[in-house]
Chains A and B, each alone.
Chain A
Amino acid sequence: MVTDPLAELEQDRLERLVRAVTIRLGGRSLHAGGPLHDRRLVSQGFELQEHRRIQPGDDPRSIDWRASARSRHLLVRRYRDERAASWLLLLDCSASMGWPNTTWRLAAQLTAALSFVVMTFGHRVGIALFSDQVLAAHPPGRGQAAYVAQRRLIAETRPVVAGGASRPESCVPIIGHGSRVVLISDCLRQDGMTGALARLSRSTGALELIGIAAAEAVPELPESDRAVTLVDSEDGTRHSLVLDGHTHAAMLAERDKLLTRLGDYCRRHGIRWTMAAPHEPWDWLLIRHLLAPERRR
């Protein structure tokens, strides 16, 4: 039976989430501390953000002579961008996202809720659904109409039944210049998704990651049925073993090592990342992710 994964995404709960994020930000920008989406457009703002030494190509009209006199160096003024930033939410639709289905439900909830929150803060948000290629995309937009369209697209999408590896780098052609990209995935790749993150980092203004660790991916089996043939949900390869507590624990340890490597990579490269369990509430997860300190690259 097909159920709407966004059924729990009530409007008042979304608005409470926005208020909570606004209060916790204390007037800061949603992407405060992170790189701006387009360095060349900074000078067109009105709110002073910083001074820095003049570089080739800087407009001489932006030289702050008084500040330069105090510092004995030519300094130019930099202004906060008053225009909205452009966000792109990449939602993994590979087959592994459907095992178990709570993974997909949480991923869809996070994507739709994040779109709502970011649009509420005045930014433009686009979404791209991918597996080994871009399955569907909605261009960046803002306002109620854009949110409703994106929510409908998410609600109507399901993970592919078979095949379809997780290749977020396939979305690079549709990523706008300087866009902030949020990748929502289970990160189940043998390289721990680090290759895709490296590729995306080169094409985006900022990159964030929300990973969903499917802790309940292995069912409890009776003792008489523990000899099983495991089938990969994406490539269909098979592997026969005895599925007991020992093998389950070994698999979890392997997955934890994978996630540890992923976390180390994100820390080294200044990628804001959050790991979630499928049973966690989507709103708490978003608060935890949006308010996490953004690291410098």
Chain B
Amino acid sequence: MIVLSAPQWLWGLALIPLIRLLHRRRGTSRALVVPALFLWRDLAPTPTAGAIQGPPDPIWWLRALLAGLLVVALAGPGWQAPASQSLDLWIVPRPSLFAVEADGRARLAHAIDAVLIALAERGLPQIRLRDLDDPRRGEAIAFADRDALQSALMRMMSQDKPAASLPPPEPQVSHWLLADRLDTSPTRPPRSFERVLAVGQTTENVGLVRLAMRRSLADLDRIQTLVRVYNAGYQPARRELQVWLGTEALATWRVMVEPGNSVNRMLTFAGEPTGLLKATLSPPDALAEDDHLELDLARIRPQIVHLDNECAEPVQMAVAAHPGLRSGARPGARIIIDCGSKPPIDERPTLWMPMGSTSGPAVMGSWTPVALRSHPPRLTAPLQPVVLPSAHVPTTPLLDTELGPLIIERVNPGTEDHWIGVGIRFDETDSAGGSEPILLLDWLLARLAGRPLIGEPLVADRATADLVIAPGALPAPSAAPISSAVTRDLTVWLLCLACILIMVDAWLHHRRRG
């Protein structure tokens, strides 16, 4: 494709008809000496000073071509290698794109309109959506119409974004940016954009940034709840905040939130932790997606544990006393406590505590520095070890002594095969009556459950930056197209051709004059 760096010079082509006119008014240059001019003097002279009107000299074609070549050379022609018919459209997948503008349409719809108009001007139906924070994450769109663009953008905005499967960005492809604001990020490499499509006008938004709950440490039957409202706009906002348990409204507050500030509300209620705990804001504002948060109360319900009857009494007492555990039948149990002599074969998480004979004097164990998800309790009393039968599978020691590992863990990645073997006789330990067995069991069962059994708050958070919908600063588009780097200058070739034409013209002139 031929491109011109200074196309205004092409106006010079309008002078070509003047060249033809000048070649009609010719004859002034050729002087012919005659011996007696008086013989000619009575003949009709030409109307103007030696110039006549007539058919143009055919050489005007050559000179017009020469002038045209020079004009085009001044325009800076270049040959741009045909770029791929694709366009990299970089987007910043912020929740603000879901904001509703003053006209009632979503900001995303405005963005799609801007993209479609720009694509129509450029004539590029093929685009690639790229995440500005992860260039290889995105989606290629073969034919960018409204539906395809909307679907692709929605996928980019969703939680399960497309895989990072795109090829690296190519320099000869046009790069456009579609965003409402671009916050600085130290991890984001600087990029130049041929075009920046800025969208968004609405600025006011209030949303929920935190919903947290936990069992009250003072009364384990009560649940403490915290709700935080944040104003990301420029004006103070008044909202009605409600906390729901299922369909029952637990509390309603009218909150006034200053711009850039947040307001916390706390609630303690009693009840069986079932259903969903929700917090909502009303009336809805520009971005309704951040007007509610919810938590599943099931996550703080006691874990159902099936306890083998062969287990030692301190273990049974510890399970019964633990507020985060509840004994139950084996089929519905979440965790199995197996006190048999053989390694567990159940697919559920199992705490294996074989009731074998002691294997020697009490020893002090030391925790093996493996990747533990939490700090184990500090054991202050000597432990009475039990010889653990061979499990015939690879295990990892968690607590080691000079006699061998006392606590081992079997984790088969990708499966539910997870058990922990404990070679300690709790009933014969000096601290059997103390709190250490309870704390150790709590730690081991929490490790099998994957979360603390009690006291951990459940939190649903939302970043305050995600609530900001006011349009912000965007980078300026680059002055020259990024793809101009592959343009080859044709000026020299045109000048060479013009020189050849000049020589041809001189030769023809010399030949005419004889």
**Is residue B58 within 8 Å, beta carbon to beta carbon, of the partner chain?**
yes
List 8 interface pairs A-B (beta carbons < 8 Å), by A numbering: A214-B35, A218-B32, A219-B32, A224-B512, A227-B30, A228-B27, A229-B27, A239-B45
Contact across chains for A227 and B46 when beta carbons are under 8 A apart: yes
- CA distance in complex: A63, B98 (Å): 152
A-facing residues in B36-72 (Cβ within 8 Å): 36-46, 49-52, 54, 57-59
**Is residue B348 within 8 Å, beta carbon to beta carbon, of the partner chain?**
no
**Is residue B301 within 8 Å, beta carbon to beta carbon, of the partner chain?**
no
Which of B33, B50, B59 touches A240 (beta carbons < 8 Å)? B50
Contact across chains for B38 and A251 when beta carbons are under 8 A apart: no
- CA distance in complex: A238, B59 (Å): 27
Closest Cβ of chain B to A69, distance in Å, is 61
Contact across chains for B32 and A240 when beta carbons are under 8 A apart: no
A229-B39 contact in complex given A217-B34, A224-B57, A241-B44, C-beta closer than 8 Å: no
Query: How many pairs, one residue from A and one from B, have CB atoms within 8 Å of each other in the complex?
Result: 108
Contact across chains for A238 and B31 when beta carbons are under 8 A apart: yes
Contact across chains for B37 and A227 when beta carbons are under 8 A apart: no
Contact across chains for B43 and A240 when beta carbons are under 8 A apart: no
Contact across chains for A229 and B50 when beta carbons are under 8 A apart: yes
- CA distance in complex: A234, B49 (Å): 21
Q: Which residues of B contact A103 (CB under 8 A)?
A: 35
Q: Of A108-116, A176-184, A242-250, which binds chain B?
A: A242-250
**Is residue A237 within 8 Å, beta carbon to beta carbon, of the partner chain?**
yes
**Is residue A169 within 8 Å, beta carbon to beta carbon, of the partner chain?**
no
Contact across chains for A227 and B32 when beta carbons are under 8 A apart: no
| Residue of A95, A226, A227, A234 with highest tally of chain B CB at under 10 A | A227
**Is residue A190 within 8 Å, beta carbon to beta carbon, of the partner chain?**
yes
Q: Which residues of B contact A218 (CB under 8 A)?
A: 32, 34
Closest Cβ of chain A to B306, distance in Å, is 114
A229-B28 contact in complex given A190-B38, A240-B49, C-beta closer than 8 Å: yes
**Is residue B20 within 8 Å, beta carbon to beta carbon, of the partner chain?**
no
- CA distance in complex: A23, B27 (Å): 56
Contact across chains for B31 and A232 when beta carbons are under 8 A apart: no
A-facing residues in B63-102 (Cβ within 8 Å): none
Q: Which residues of A contact B35 (CB under 8 A)?
A: 95-99, 103, 186, 188, 214, 217, 233-234
- CA distance in complex: A97, B52 (Å): 31
Q: Which residues of B contact A188 (CB under 8 A)?
A: 35-36, 39
Nearest residue (CB) in B for A187 is B36
**Is residue B26 within 8 Å, beta carbon to beta carbon, of the partner chain?**
yes
- CA distance in complex: A106, B37 (Å): 22
Nearest residue (CB) in A for B44 is A241
Other A-B pairs, 20, CB within 8 Å; known A230-B31, A241-B40 = A97-B35, A98-B35, A99-B34, A218-B32, A224-B26, A225-B30, A231-B34, A231-B37, A232-B33, A232-B34, A232-B37, A239-B37, A240-B49, A240-B50, A241-B46, A242-B52, A251-B39, A251-B43, A254-B42, A255-B36
- CA distance in complex: A219, B52 (Å): 20
**Is residue A26 within 8 Å, beta carbon to beta carbon, of the partner chain?**
no
A124-135 toward B: CB 8 Å interface, digit per residue (1/0)? 000000000000
Can you list the 6 inter-chain pairs with the closest CB atoms, starting with the nearest? A227-B27, A96-B35, A232-B37, A240-B50, A188-B36, A99-B35
B-facing residues in A187-202 (Cβ within 8 Å): 188, 190
| Residue of B28, B31, B39, B43 with highest tally of chain A CB at under 10 A | B39
Size of B's binding interface in residues, CB under 8 A:
29
| Residue of A97, A225, A258 with highest tally of chain B CB at under 10 A | A225
**Is residue A222 within 8 Å, beta carbon to beta carbon, of the partner chain?**
yes
Closest Cβ of chain A to B215, distance in Å, is 109
Q: Which residues of A contact B54 (CB under 8 A)?
A: 227
Nearest residue (CB) in A for B56 is A224
- CA distance in complex: A251, B40 (Å): 6
- CA distance in complex: A251, B35 (Å): 12
Which of A98, A186, A240 touches B45 (beta carbons < 8 Å)? A240
Contact across chains for B31 and A229 when beta carbons are under 8 A apart: yes
- CA distance in complex: A99, B28 (Å): 21
Contact across chains for B36 and A96 when beta carbons are under 8 A apart: yes
| Residue of A95, A97, A228, A237 with highest tally of chain B CB at under 10 A | A228
* Chain B interface helix/strand/loop/mixed: loop
A-facing residues in B457-514 (Cβ within 8 Å): 512
A230-B58 contact in complex given A190-B38, A242-B46, C-beta closer than 8 Å: no
- CA distance in complex: A128, B405 (Å): 148
Nearest residue (CB) in B for A257 is B39
Contact across chains for B27 and A99 when beta carbons are under 8 A apart: no
Contact across chains for A227 and B43 when beta carbons are under 8 A apart: no
Contact across chains for B40 and A230 when beta carbons are under 8 A apart: yes
Contact across chains for B45 and A241 when beta carbons are under 8 A apart: yes
Closest Cβ of chain B to A245, distance in Å, is 13
Q: Which residues of B contact A232 (CB under 8 A)?
A: 33-34, 36-38
A-facing residues in B227-265 (Cβ within 8 Å): none
- CA distance in complex: A237, B35 (Å): 11
Closest Cβ of chain A to B491, distance in Å, is 33
Which of B37, B39, B44, B58 touches A237 (beta carbons < 8 Å)? B37
Nearest residue (CB) in A for B27 is A227
Closest Cβ of chain A to B7, distance in Å, is 36
Contact across chains for A231 and B33 when beta carbons are under 8 A apart: yes
Closest Cβ of chain B to A105, distance in Å, is 14
Q: Which residues of A contact B43 (CB under 8 A)?
A: 239, 241, 247, 250-251
Closest Cβ of chain A to B57, distance in Å, is 5
- CA distance in complex: A239, B38 (Å): 9
Q: Which residues of B contact A227 (CB under 8 A)?
A: 26-28, 30, 46, 50-52, 54
- CA distance in complex: A33, B107 (Å): 126
Contact across chains for A231 and B32 when beta carbons are under 8 A apart: yes
- CA distance in complex: A71, B94 (Å): 153
Q: Which residues of B contact A238 (CB under 8 A)?
A: 31, 37
B165-203 toward A: CB 8 Å interface, digit per residue (1/0)? 000000000000000000000000000000000000000
A68-112 toward B: CB 8 Å interface, digit per residue (1/0)? 000000000000000000000000000111110001000000000
Q: Which residues of A contact B26 (CB under 8 A)?
A: 224, 227
Closest Cβ of chain B to A188, distance in Å, is 4
Contact across chains for B31 and A225 when beta carbons are under 8 A apart: no
A-facing residues in B409-457 (Cβ within 8 Å): none
Contact across chains for B51 and A230 when beta carbons are under 8 A apart: no
Q: Which residues of A contact B36 (CB under 8 A)?
A: 96, 186, 188, 217, 232-233, 255
Contact across chains for B46 and A99 when beta carbons are under 8 A apart: no
Contact across chains for A99 and B39 when beta carbons are under 8 A apart: no
Closest Cβ of chain A to B32, distance in Å, is 5
Contact across chains for B41 and A239 when beta carbons are under 8 A apart: yes
- CA distance in complex: A56, B37 (Å): 53
Q: Which residues of B contact A228 (CB under 8 A)?
A: 27, 30-32
Q: Which residues of B contact A96 (CB under 8 A)?
A: 35-36
Q: Which residues of B contact A190 (CB under 8 A)?
A: 38
| Residue of B27, B31, B51 with highest tally of chain A CB at under 10 A | B27
- CA distance in complex: A190, B40 (Å): 12
Q: Which residues of A contact B34 (CB under 8 A)?
A: 99, 217-218, 230-233
- CA distance in complex: A255, B43 (Å): 13
A229-B40 contact in complex given A240-B50, A241-B45, C-beta closer than 8 Å: no
| Residue of A103, A224, A233 with highest tally of chain B CB at under 10 A | A224
Q: Which residues of A contact B52 (CB under 8 A)?
A: 227, 242
A247-B49 contact in complex given A217-B34, A217-B35, A230-B32, C-beta closer than 8 Å: no
